Amino acid sequence: MNDNALHTVEARIRQQAAAFCESGNVPGFVAGVHHAGEQTVVAHGTANVATGAPMREDTGFLLGSVTKVLTTTLVLRQVDRGLLDLDTPVVTYLPEFALTVPGAADKILVRHLISHTNGIDADLFFPHDKGRDALKSYVNGLASSCGSLFEPGEQLSYSNGGMIVAGRLLEVVTGTPFHDLLAREIYAPVGMKDSSTSAEQAILRSTAIGHFPDPETMAAKPTGMFMLPDTWGPAGSTPIGTIADLLAFGRTHLAGGVSPSGTRVLSAASTALMQQVSHDMQTPNVPPMGLGWVRYPFGDTAVLAMSGASPGGVSILCVVPEHDLVFTAYGNTPGAIMLQDQILQWLLSEHLGVQIPTLVTAAGQDVDLTPYAGTYRSDQLRIDVSIVDGQLEERTTYEPADASQERIFTEFAGGTTSAPPQRYVPIRPGLFAPAGYPPESFDGYLRLLLVSYHDIRDGQARFRNGGGRLARRA
């Protein structure tokens, strides 16, 4: 990439960030692109409205679920060493791993944990423990609190629980606490020199905090909770890094597992395995899954991606192997995901010349809605689906397990855990789009807003998938 092309990318991101942040009440945004040996980082706005601290190019932020790709990389490092085998049951290494459904945990293989095909129904299970035994406590709590959504390998459902179990598995087979392992085996060899895993470390340098829109004024107000509990570390609650750090990590996966400094972090075979399709639900709202990476198809181009929600913020990391490009960004309100999607699509279509096809065309005609109506459940969530005026109407209810988990989830969600009913229009049998959105809305990252239904038996769908997460018919 020549300097002129890099300058164009930088100017475009700067322009898009300024316009979006002003119109969307996003206090601050920071993004970076590495392409063909050149790199740029752009920062805009404010990192913390309570202090007025500026968002700088080297400002740190919570990685959120981008951490899942780091956790998966750690698992594959142990596979390279012979400490783990992907096709061995987790209980072989972690005998205490159990779920409320007898025998369900015994069938889960190591690969199911990192391919989101494990079926662990624990997406909102938030035990509040700190310190070195946090992951041990989480795994112990699963046995009495969380069941199974499906048989391992049968379906795909985005799994925080699977990644947290993988983190505990790493602790057991290496004898090293997860945070120490992350620092030693990812941060150091990759060159993520400004990354950390605690608020105590983050406060020593420039670090952004999240914000939520005030319900009355819509102005951004600071989050009341910086990070989720330590129990969610491997899924993304605690790691903090910078744009430069994530670009270095993305470049390591571009280069077959070799970091920018020349250190081999992962074998070429394991790096390639992470990028290959491990499960495909054959529906546009659930992109094919690799190991750790989600494989977003933009026409014939695969974008390896993971986004990461934190309290009042959202990060993203995208790697485009066939074009030697890494894009990463963070915005400090949840709505910044829209800006990240805009920039990604511009980079693909305008900068790289990728043809982005339309995923969703006109609404489907004469689709029988009766197989989809009913009640679906997953961990602490209930979704009631009814037929209204030729559309599906969904009502989602949060049903907290206890007061502690309710407090954590409420703070994570910015105080709002209930939503008004949402109408969906049929696209084709089994696939629905939220009413009122233009079809082109779903061509990029926001295809996750589509809802699909799966495994119809006796005229009824067994599963609903929204945002990559399954709920099972009650």
Q: Using an 8 Å Cβ cutoff, are 59 and 206 in contact? A: yes
Which residue out of 65, 115, 307, 452 is catalytically annotated? 65
Q: Using an 8 Å Cβ cutoff, are 381 and 388 in contact? A: no
Place of tokens 């390639």: 272
Tokens of residue 16, six digits: 């898009």
Q: What share of the chain is helix, strand, coil (3-state, %, to 5)?
A: 35, 25, 40
Contacts of 142 (CB under 8 A, 6+ apart): 97, 98, 99, 105, 120, 122, 125, 161, 165
Active-site residue flag, 148: no
Single out the residue of 371, 412, 418, 361 nearest to residue 392, CA to CA. 371
Query: How many CB atoms neighbour CB 9 within 10 A?
Result: 24
Contacts of 353 (CB under 8 A, 6+ apart): none
Distance between CA 472 and CA 211 in Å, rounded?
32
Q: What is the DSSP string of 183-209?
A: IIIIIHHHT-TT-BSSHHHHTTS-B--
Single out the residue of 254, 428, 440 nearest to residue 357, CA to CA. 440
Contacts of 45 (CB under 8 A, 6+ apart): 17, 21, 26, 27, 28, 29, 54, 55
Single out the residue of 50, 415, 55, 44 nearest to residue 213, CA to CA. 415
Distance between CA 58 and CA 243 in Å, rounded?
7
Distance between CA 423 and CA 387 in Å, rounded?
9
Distance between CA 160 and CA 178 in Å, rounded?
15
Active site positions, annotated: 65
